[in-house]
A and B are shown apart, each in its own frame.
Chain A
Amino acid sequence: MAQPHMVSASPDAALILAWQAGDEQAAAELVGRHARPLARFLAGAGAPEADVDDLVQETFIRAFRSVDRFRGQCQFRTWLLTIGGNVLKDFGRRAARRKVVPLDEAVRDVTGDPHEHAEASEAEALLAMGLKQLPRLQREVFLLRAQQGLEYGEIAAALATTPGAARVHYHHAVKRLKEIVK
């Protein structure tokens, strides 16, 4: 009983070390902590809902396999999200080769006022469409900042750029998205 409690109270770095030492429970705990934010990021970046589960799994597999390369330059979650971006890019390439056009379902919230809900769904669908039109870097910076709430310094460390450049990408993304969503 004591051990699972210790595991869930551990910081990510401790869980990574435990996984590297062969502790599968540590890997499962990391998945439990970060799977939903990763799923939100992937869906926001254009992953078809039917494939989100597979893409989340693939992202974690890649991350655990290359965890030796994670130097703590940013949070584990931020690093994981950037791997998710690469996984999604590869998925898009494979889909393009198969001539499959992923059809994203508009995100639906089943609670609340139907009118408000319809308006929100339409705006979200427009935002999702607008995000697809952005360059990849702008899209990822926007999602990391607006959806995940990360600071520019953290985003810059994960994407190997400067905080100033990350800020510029964000503002370009916001400008274009506002025109689409208004």
Chain B
Amino acid sequence: MKAMNGDERLENLAKRLGSAAAARLDVEATAQKVVARLREQPARRIAWVQQTWLRIAAALVVVLSGAALVRQTLVTRNTHAAHFVADDLRDLSADELRDVLATFDQIINSDSVAVPEGSTDLHELDAQQLRAVLRSLEG
């Protein structure tokens, strides 16, 4: 090889680099493939957009249905709790309330229950005080 400085040699090598790959390239066929892909890809993009919107719509339906179901379940639960307190408690007599409370003796002994001051025995309470104790059990 002819003597040449490092920079020149490097540039000559760089010019040769990739020349075999470029020579093997069928330029006409590549041009045809590119044009064909450009022709078909806008249509594919429209199809992709349509598919995407369909997926978004389906996901929204699932999320909204789920949210409606959860909401309905919560409302039903709250209604049942309100029915028990509002209706059943109001209809109980003092004796019946004592029977109910007898089953909660252990709970009543805990600090969370608001037993009226000065009272140590449930039998000393009147109906109004017993209702107050039951309500305090609900938290």
A interface residues with partner B (beta carbon < 8 Å):
24, 27-29, 31-32, 35-37, 39-44, 47, 49, 52-53, 56-57, 60-61, 64-65, 107-109, 116, 119-120, 123-124, 127-128, 131, 142-143, 146-147, 174, 177-178, 181-182
Contacts and interface: CB of A to CB of B under 8 A. Distances in A.
A147 B13 CA distance: 8
A38 to B, nearest CB: 8
Given A56-B25, A178-B10, A44 B30 contact: no
A31 B25 contact: no
Given A42-B18, A60-B34, A174-B10, 15 more contacts: A28-B32, A40-B19, A41-B18, A43-B20, A53-B26, A57-B30, A107-B17, A116-B1, A120-B13, A123-B9, A123-B13, A146-B10, A146-B14, A146-B15, A181-B10
Contact of B14 (A53, A56, A65, A143): A143
B17 A124 contact: yes
Interface string B1-44: 10000110111011111111111111110111111011101000
- Best-buried of B11, B26, B32 by chain A (most CB within 10 Å): B11
Contacts of B23: 36
Contact of B21 (A29, A40, A182): A40
B21 A35 contact: no
A108 B21 CA distance: 9
Contacts of B28: 32
Given A43-B21, A53-B30, A56-B30, A27 B38 contact: yes
Contacts, number: 121
Contacts of B41: 61
Interface residues of B, number: 32
B5 to A, nearest CB: 10
A78 to B, nearest CB: 16
B16 A109 contact: yes
Interface in B45-65: none
Contact of A142 (B1, B14, B22): B14
- Best-buried of B11, B16, B24, B32 by chain A (most CB within 10 Å): B16
Nearest to A39: B22
A146 B22 contact: no
Nearest to B19: A40
B27 A31 contact: yes
B61 to A, nearest CB: 33
Chain A binding surface, main DSSP class: helix
A128 B20 CA distance: 13
A49 B26 CA distance: 13
Contacts of A108: 20
A41 B19 CA distance: 9
A31 B30 contact: yes
Nearest to B32: A28
Nearest to B27: A35
Contact of A31 (B1, B9, B11, B34): B34
Nearest to B29: A53
Given A31-B30, A35-B30, A146-B10, A24 B35 contact: yes
